[in-house]
Amino acid sequence: MEGIVGAKLLHGSSEVETSKALQGGVVALYFSAHWCPPCQGYTPQLKKVYERAKREGKLFDVIFVSSDRDEASFRQYFASMPWHAVPFSDRAKEQALKMIYQVRGIPSVVLLDGATGSLVDANGRGKVMEPGFVASLPTTQDLALAKLPSPEGPVPVTIYHHGREYEIECEPDEGYEMLRMQIFSVTDIPAEQQRLFGLGQAKGVLNEQVPLPRALVRAMAAQKNTGYKVAGVPKEARKASSNEFPEEQWHAAGGVLTSDPGWGWVHKSKDDNPWYQMDLQEVRKVAGVVLRAGADHVAWVKKFRVCTATTEEGPWDAVDAGREFSGLSGLMLPEVRAIFESPVETRFVRIECLPGGLDRRSLRADVLLADDKDQDKPPTIVVLGNFSADDPFENMEAAQDNAQTKMIEEQHLAMLQAKLSNAQPRLQNQVNSLQGVQRYESRALQKQALAEIPVLGIDESARSSSESYELAFMRGLLRWYKHDFFSWCNAPKCEHCSSGNTKTVGATQPTREEQYFLAGNVEVAQCNLCGLQTRFPRYNDPGKLLETRTGRCGEWANCFTLLCRALGYEARHVHDWTDHVWTEIFSDSLKRWVHADSCEAALDAPLMYEKGWGKKLTYVIAFARDHVIDVSRRYTQKFDDLLPRRTEFSEQELQRVLGAISEFSTDRSLVQVPEATASQRRAALERRAKEEQDQLLGRSQEAKEVKAEEQVGRTSGDAEWRSQRGELGATAAAKEKALELSETGLEGSSAPSSAAKAEPEKAPASRDPQAAAKQRFAELVASGLSPNEAALQVIQDLRLCSTRGLGTAGTD
């Protein structure tokens, strides 16, 4: 690379040697300038890609090649960049690079092979923004493993499938086809239906472009040091510098490695030198320590030292001369085994947390003993097929679109439009929601989604659960998604100074690029620190959301439903017309559809909106790729109480329109499916529809018992925002619990107090009925109703409330 960009580069205000600054992998030459408006918009987006690549340990470097008009402008612009730059004084180099790579305009990105300098892509500006770009980048481990020799002879491999364990012997030279045949022989999953994960690859489906012998080398390297035995230090032999949780929770788990549900130790925020200590009861020969993430906290120990002592009073000696060990990088990722350069004889082992990450850090830990080391564990593969036996589509190869298929789909759409020609516009618009769920069927998009999911870690947690595998896996997926993947955005961070002190001040039209990713509108936030503005596009493209990983309930549910489909769940995207969105998955073990709210990490808690949040639901419509259904009855304890609020159209009209849309979606989904398979699917849909109808009618006829987690107010979003929406809680106890669980979501909920169970639902006494009615009127108009329709609805709500003695119910 020195021959291309020169021997010296800038990093910040310092000059560095190019040979030491670049890691190899992929290098992006970024041609840009401070005076260029498109560049000012592109640079923050490139910065996000760069930071994500670094966060995931990818080998990706960026070198800024400036087209600024003077050095002062260059330095001002470069100060906002975290990467390297060609020195501004070397204008000849800038001109030479533009000529070599034929750069005609800015911003422009040229991608190079960091090891050889060869050209990868001369027009990389769009490529680096693709959702799958970061996943395609190599890691340091990839380069190191390429130098190791291939295994000789068969390699034992452990296969995990839906909670069951199998052993096979894999011949490296026989390739993936034979491996899949072996997996079929023990799991009965046909080769073409197998999703394979593992062999040392922490996330994503197995990359079969890597030759199997190299994949096995990687897998054996990942299992290195797994033969050391875990000491199993009991909870009473553990202590810490401080503990965030109550004493009873410390005794329940306290960071024990195998604790269930995986509670970790968390130190207090004001503890400047946190440590976690384990007592072996006697002097033992220690090989190292093992760390896992706690499931109850969103920050982990990322850097640490280990100290040992033979008595608790000390002296304490730092292992390996104070060596800094790399810690945990995320929830559901493989455990970290920190092995010392040589075993240490000691009784007390102390993990000292080093600065980094949030002000409180969490871990589960134990000690690895050096004596009686077993053989390292064999490489592992997790096999996922289809979570639903009735679903024939999951792993079928996507048929190619052709003219005949498109013609049939257009005919179906024309017939649907004719059927709906007399329906109200809002009902006709429900057809558009089918486009969203159809995007989840893209095999390329599903592959991008699977590249993000730590399937091995979720599988391990599901295998140790007493629940059915499909539900335990879903619970783990929800936990990981909420705590380690997606983030809530009240207002975006400032893209100029990275401050979180911003406030939404308005909205604007999306750019062409934002429209490409289906952003219908863009919110604008102003930084209270630097005064500059940041755009927050409300993307509807689930592939783009895999990259941005932030938003509110719409973005959360959109991206999460894609992940469910990618993993093999049958999934629905559920629209609540009082402004919320979530997912449903089909459970073969329960033989019904199950509610899953990724914002709340909630599973099978359908009454939470009515009983916990205090929402006055009206219409709840679920969209799958091959059917559409009104599921409102699932989300209310008494449908007769909800029914008077459903006044936009008659129940008969609603069912007629949804039936027509559902029939269209079924026909469209089966166009490219063999006739026998299509007949089986139709029969399954008809059987399920009847069973679901019976279940929903049963729910409406009985007063179902309300679960503890359904008596909690909304936990996602800041408290002021939740309160303004009237969703913080239906009761005082629900609000209190919602505030308590704002970080964990409903997975951290426990049974409410007796006061919470006894307290009746009532509207706040301090609410002014006139003001509430005005607020309700404004909300209805904003939802698309005419002023006359909104006024009639408010009057009806007030009449309904007065008959129940509930004051101003319905104003949320």
Active site residues: 553, 580, 597
- Output the six-digit token pair for 469: 């595998």
Q: What is the DSSP string of 238-265?
A: EEES--SS-HHHHHHTTTBTT-SS---E
Q: Kindly give the residue spans of alpha helices, DSSP state H, lying in 198-319.
A: 212-222, 247-252
CB within 8 A of 593, min separation 6: which ones? 572, 584, 585, 586, 587, 622, 631, 634, 692
Burial of residue 772 (number of CB atoms within 10 Å: 0-12, 13-18, 19+): buried
762 and 807 Cβ atoms separated by less than 8 Å: yes
438 and 628 Cβ atoms separated by less than 8 Å: no
607 and 707 Cβ atoms separated by less than 8 Å: yes
Beta strands in 424-531 (DSSP E): 487-488, 502-508, 522-527
Q: Kindly give the residue spans of alpha helices, DSSP state H, lying in 602-649.
A: 639-642
Residue 612 backbone dihedrals phi, psi, to 5 degrees? -95, -55
- Beta strand 592-597 pairing with 580-587: antiparallel
570 and 391 Cβ atoms separated by less than 8 Å: yes
Burial of residue 224 (number of CB atoms within 10 Å: 0-12, 13-18, 19+): exposed
| Amino acid at residue number 285 | K
Q: CA neighbours within 13 Å on the CB side: how many for 420?
A: 24
Degrees to nearest 5, angle at CA 477 with 462 and 207:
90
| Amino acid at residue number 433 | S
Segment (H or E) for 477: helix 469-480
d(Cα 57, Cα 538) in Å, to the nearest integer? 28
- Output the six-digit token pair for 371: 């004596």
Q: CA neighbours within 13 Å on the CB side: how many for 755?
A: 7
Degrees to nearest 5, angle at CA 369 with 364 and 373:
120
Alpha-carbon dihedral angle through residues 121, 122, 127, 129, given to the nearest 10 degrees: 130
DSSP one-letter code for 398: P
578 and 615 Cβ atoms separated by less than 8 Å: yes
Q: CA neighbours within 13 Å on the CB side: how many for 684?
A: 20
CB within 8 A of 301, min separation 6: which ones? 291, 327, 328, 351, 353, 361, 362, 363
Residue 241 backbone dihedrals phi, psi, to 5 degrees? -65, -30
CB burial readout 636-650, b (16+ within 10 A) else e:
bbebebbeebbebee
| Amino acid at residue number 624 | A
Q: Kindly give the residue spans of alpha helices, DSSP state H, lying in 149-295.
A: 175-187, 212-222, 247-252
CB within 8 A of 691, min separation 6: which ones? 591, 592
d(Cα 639, Cα 617) in Å, to the nearest integer? 10
Cis peptide bond upstream of 261, omega within 30: yes
d(Cα 163, Cα 469) in Å, to the nearest integer? 6
d(Cα 776, Cα 355) in Å, to the nearest integer? 49
Region of residue 93 (phi > 0: left; psi between -120 and 50: alpha; otherwise: beta): alpha
d(Cα 61, Cα 26) in Å, to the nearest integer? 6
